[in-house]
Amino acid sequence: MMQVNAAVKKKRKIKDACLNAITYLSSGLGAFILIAIFVFIFSKGFSSLGFDLLKGNYWSNNYLVSVEESYNQAGNYQAPADLNEGAAFSSKWGIAFVDAQDQNKDNVILIEYVDEASPFARLLDDSIKDKQVTLSAESGFQVERISYQDENGITYTAGNIMSQNAKELCEALDQADVIEQAYFKTPGGGIRGSILSTLYLILVSLLIALPLGIAAAIYLHEYAKQNKVTALIRSAIDMLTGVPSIIFGLMGVTVLFPVTQLFGATTTNILLGAFTMAVILLPTIIRSTEEALIVVPKSMRDASLSLGANQSQTIFKVVLPCAIPGILTGVMLSIGRVIGESAALIYTMGTYVNDAPHLLSQGTSLAVHIYNIMSSEQPNFELASAISIVILIFVLILNITVKLLSKKLNKAWY
Amino acid sequence: MKSFVRDVISTEKNEKKLRKDKRMRACFFTAALLSSSAIAVIVIFISMKGITPFLQEGVDFFSFLFGTTWRKDQGIYGVGFIIVNTLVSSFGALLLSFPLSVLTALFITKIAPKKLSAMMTTVIELLASIPSVVYGVFASGTITLLVSTLAAQFGLVTAGGSSLLAVILLLAIMIFPTITSLSITAIRAVDKDVELGSLALGATRTQTNFKVVLTSAKSGIFAGAILGLGRAFGEATAVAMVAGNKMFGPTFNLFDTTRTLTTTMLSGLKETTGLDYDIRFSAGLVLMAVILLSNLILNLVKKKVGNMK
Amino acid sequence: MNAETIFHVDHLDLFYGDKQALKQIKMDIKRNKITALIGPSGCGKSTFLRCLNRMNDLVDGCKVSGTIELDGNDIHSTQMNVVDLRTKVGMVFQKANPFPMSIYDNIAYGPRCQGIKSKKILDEIVEQSLTKAALWEEVKDRLQESAFGLSGGQQQRLCIARAIAMEPEVILMDEPTSALDPISTSKIEEMAMELKKDYTIIIVTHNMQQAARVSDETAFFLMGEMVEFDETKKIFQQPSDKRTEDYITGRFG
């Protein structure tokens, strides 16, 4: 008898251990996936991350230029003392180049330094025919092509297009007598425009959704009687949570686009995206505000009313200030939602990356920028991952803030 | 005693305050009404726009609903196979993710030591907060690779890994935190007494966890599954990066490309007028119908499951 | 009705939905006296108190009928403005409920709501109210600190000071000392005795000794009815109703 019991017990123990083990395994899998995502994104994107990415334009500017006639001659220039060691300096033309890699990991030559008196500081824009537009080569320009004549008047071409590096380009220029034409490019691939658009989106959508959401939450919690109308309003707002964001996008272009037209919009635009986001954010803001209102004790309201305040004074002077941490939580969650949203915005703002976005122009949020990159023929994983890192960092910061806020909310003073 | 306040109080002013109260109440009510009308506006406008192709542009409703080809270059719009694809990929993801989520939830709430539990909670929260495009980038960089290597083992060739399997794996990952966090809530809500009762009857902790706790929490866990499925149906951008947009179907081969309702709505967003644009709204309408119907059916199932003990 | 009466209550009925919480209450409350309302929990004494400044208005499904007159004016009539009423009838609650603001702002809250903005006047109001509530000496150096830094008893006195700041005629106190220690309780009782020179005080209490100590008149409530209302001395020494006697001798409660 005892032996059988022991056997049963042993079997049970093994079974229990197995069951426990699979829960460990599945959690481990979850953790593994998270780590895999972070490792992948960071390893792919980290090298592209930098201030140039954050503040640079996405589109390259192309400059086809020639040197102003009167300055088009060689001189003798001194390299500045603080010139980068890897840079190749042409003392004849007063310009220095360095080797670098662009966003696509191709080798390029960048201008490192231009002497103030150098011929390259006095350029004419050839792409504009009838007007004389002068400009100067600047450090950071990508040198695609420089064509020059040697003393015999024979034209040569140098630059990136000839697969030269900085040193070779410099040596080539030392042969030159006259510069015929140059083709420069700015690097591009930056995300400043998308960051700006994202900020616009966050700002405008919160500006609309916050007052509306807070007011709705106040009605639902402070005024509404428990009846059928209230129940209907509540369930209608709850239902919004379950609507996929792409549907909000469809709603945006049909219902809200005419509204932005009143402001003068002709295409889909950032304002439309913000309007649409505001609708998406409403349930989040209403819920977190209401949760915060619930925590404010009823005795606060009683005290205020018994002192001869009316209900609006009670709400604005006592109840809402008490609810601020909760409302802030809602704001943080909303910002996270705006940063992460893509499908609704693709419909309402377009996928054109805009370097100079304004409210009524098209533009991409960071997330849509990623989608734009990923849906091209040859997706640039490095850039997409770099933007993902920016987004993840934002989201992490927001998450931590929410956690701290809710801690503050929980150990409340009452 | 000096009096400061008495003389200041004016009935007239207080009347005004009460009238202001009424106005504020009206404002708050308007805000609530406006917020709640959004859902109605969405349904009405998308329905109106979604049925125009059938009413005005001569698209046959039945060949739309049951069609097996979607070629906008030829003007053939059949959404039937896309519905099937959407269902297959979403339920496939649910099938994969559901057991893992429930086990993880059980781990966090009952099995893990305190520190590990807190850590896993953070993991779930982080997974939940990662935006879908980031999942998309991850999936098209790793999952597609995984799938194409796997396919090569069977001697198959995939479209760079874009496939039904990739979609299922991606969606499974994406709905994992949703189902897990709802399951955690459901398991936490289980009455302590039920558990103690089971333990008192001589069941081990593990037996109690698996038999008693999970069955008591099943209604909440099921709700999590429904929510997860809804997310899978509606996920657009990430899926679009690995689906491959097949033009006919339905797709049942795991290594073949597929097309879901959302990817269809996202693909080639160049036009802003015309049939090719309007038909997206019809697809959106179908998507809403699919979500609504599956929610209804699953809620019925949930009631049944909840009732039997 | 004579000039001594401040509140005249007649045939007051109150329903929460279908449940009747107050039945035919009839009572004349005298000016510059402390009136105590006693009775077991759920007998309707707090509900009655909250009728006197219409704090029940916002409760869902609460219906009041009958007359309550303050200085001869029906408080439910259309001429009576509920905000006006509440400035005249202040209230102190069971649990101290200072606002999450500084001590100064707590006191200044009511006057500010009535549109008083002058810093000089507000300063005087704050000082006068706190002095009357016997709190000035304790807090005068930290008026700008949060009210939550005060002890429980100090918080309750702050709430009384906050009510006094409105210069009301009546102060309703709903079990103001039930959450306090004996020392804080006696401080508040002393203060109440002091305050009745200027105000009428109506106090709901669970504590019969307290009623006996501080009040001039006492009303005994039972199951929504007012059983007996008389001078405190009489109620405690020779109650005319058997139920009152049972209650004050501790047979139930």
B266-301 tens-digit pLDDT: 876 655 667 778 888 999 999 999 999 998 998 888
Kindly state the average pLDDT of the residues C211-233.
Answer: 92
**A214 in the same domain as A129:** no
Domain termination site, one of A185, A215, A248: A185
The confidence score (pLDDT) of residue B309 equals 43
**What interface predicted TM-score (ipTM) does this complex get?**
0.91
SS3 string, B155-187, reads CCCCECCECHHHHHHHHHHHHHHHHHHHHHHHH
Average pLDDT over residues A129-134: 69
Contact status of C124 with chain B (Cβ, < 8 Å): yes
With 90 as the cut, is the pLDDT of residue A405 above it?
A: no
Q: Is A202 in the same domain as A239?
A: yes
- The verdict on a CB contact (< 8 Å) between C115 and B4 is no
Instruction: Report, as an integer, the average pLDDT of C56-64.
Output: 84
What token pair was written down for C100? 């999450």
Give me the torsion for CA of B104, B107, B109, B110, rounded to 10°.
150
The pTM score is 0.88
Least trusted range by pLDDT, from A77-86, A324-333, B185-194: A77-86
> Is C129 a residue whose pLDDT tops 80?
yes
What is chain A's mean pLDDT, rounded? 87
- Neighbours of A, requiring at least 3 CB pairs below 8 Å, are B, C
pLDDT of residue B245: 83
CA A44 to chain centre: 17
Lowest mean pLDDT among A180-189, A278-287, B284-293: A180-189
Same domain? For A160 and A298 the reply is no
pLDDT grade for A49, boundaries at 50, 70 and 90 = confident
pLDDT at A375: 85
Residues of B contacting chain C (CB within 8 angstroms): 1-6, 8-9, 11, 13-15, 17-18
- Domain tally, chain A: 2
What's residue A186's pLDDT? 82
Which pLDDT tens digit goes with each residue over B43-99?
A: 999 999 999 888 887 888 888 888 888 887 787 888 899 999 999 999 999 999 999
For residue B57, the model assigns a pLDDT of: 79
Same domain, A108 and A210: no
Whether residue A355 is contained in a domain is answered as: yes
Domain count, chain C: 1
Q: Which of B135-149, B162-176, B238-252 has the lowest mean pLDDT?
A: B238-252
Establish if C253 belongs to a structural domain: no
Structural domain containing residue A110 = 60-185
Q: Can you give the pLDDT at residue A2? A: 53
pLDDT band, very low/low/confident/very high, at A414 (cuts 50, 70, 90): very low
- List all residues of chain A from 299 to 338 with a beta carbon under 8 Å from chain B: 308, 310-313, 315, 336
Domain end, chosen from A185, A202, A221, is at A185
Among candidate residues A130, A158, A185, the one where a domain is terminated:
A185
A292 near C CB under 8 A: no
Which element (helix H / strand E) includes A15? helix A2-45
Average pLDDT for C153-172: 93
Which tokens sit at A134?
A: 């002068």
Average pLDDT, chain B: 89
Query: Which residues of chain C are within 8 Å of residue B1 when distances are taken between CB atoms?
Result: 128, 132, 198
Given a cut of 50, whether residue A246 has pLDDT beyond it is yes
Over pLDDT 70: what percentage of chain A? Answer: 96
Residue A85, SS3 per DSSP? coil
List the beta strands (DSSP E) in chain C.
5-16, 19-30, 34-38, 62-70, 73-74, 89-92, 170-174, 200-204, 217-222, 225-231
A203 to chain C, closest Cα gap in Å: 29
Collapsing DSSP to helix, strand or coil, A108 comes out as strand
Least confident piece of the model among A286-300, B2-16, B258-272, C112-126: B258-272
Task: Calculate the CA A36 to chain-centre distance.
Answer: 22
Question: Looking at residues B178-201, what average pLDDT do you find?
Answer: 91
pLDDT, position A124 = 83
Residues 6+ apart with CB under 8 A from B51: B282, B285
CB B290 within 8 A of CB B264: no
The range of the structural domain enclosing residue C218 comes to 5-248
Residues A266 and A383 in one domain: yes
Same domain, A257 and A278: yes
Q: What are the phi and psi torsion angles at A347 (to 5°)? A: -70, -40
Distance between CA atoms of A405 and C128, rounded to whole angstroms? 38
Nearest neighbour of A216 by CB, restricted to B35, B209, B233: B35
Residues of C in contact with B6 (CB under 8 A): 167
Residues A130, A220 within the same domain:
no
Q: What is the CATH number of the domain that holds A83?
A: 2.30.42
Q: What CATH number does residue A233 fall under?
A: 1.10.3720.10
For A341-352, how does the pLDDT look when each residue is reduced to its tens digit (9 = 90+)?
999 999 899 888
Q: pLDDT averaged over chain C? A: 90
DSSP 8-state secondary structure symbol assigned to residue B69: B
Task: Burial-class residue B77 by CB neighbours within 10 Å (0-12, 13-18, 19+).
Answer: buried
Q: Please give the CATH topology (third level) of the domain spanning B63-307.
A: MetI-like fold (1.10.3720)
User: Which residue of chain A comes nearest to C85, CA vs CA?
Assistant: A308
- Number of A to B CB contacts under 8 A, please give it: 251
Are A163 and A274 part of one and the same domain? no
Q: Does pLDDT of A412 surpass 60?
A: no
Q: Residue C19 maps to which CATH number? A: 3.40.50.300
